[in-house]
Structure 1
């Protein structure tokens, strides 16, 4: 896996910010960040939208401006 360029990171942050504006208030969304998409061993970095459950009302694109977007399902709790 090669390291993304500074331009890629700027674009990824813009896409992340757009996803926060679009989905940040959704009750199923627990976080939005930039990181390894599933499967992690593929080494694809993109914007991740963390959700609990399987919300039917979210239409998330697979890619925006060349930046991959993925959904991570999980119900996180403090240990």
Structure 2
């Protein structure tokens, strides 16, 4: 998995990240956006566009939001 969207997105759901994604791999869920790990090309374009700093590379998700990695997997599972 290249990128994970964590808790700061919940309730905010600003679509700036969606607009810059060159492969359209970001999907809207009920409470947040999710990045499809099979479609993401690991370009990183979405990360700086997130106004609430909710996007992290999968190996740098802060510990307090580690559960969002599994939440992302479950969304596409």
What TM-score, normalized by structure 2, do the two folds share?
0.35
Task: Give the greater-gyration-radius structure (CA).
Answer: 1
Please give the TM-score of this superposition, normalised by the length of structure 1: 0.35
Relative contact order, CA 8 A, sep 6+: which one is greater? 2
Which structure shows the bigger proportion of residues in helix conformation? 2
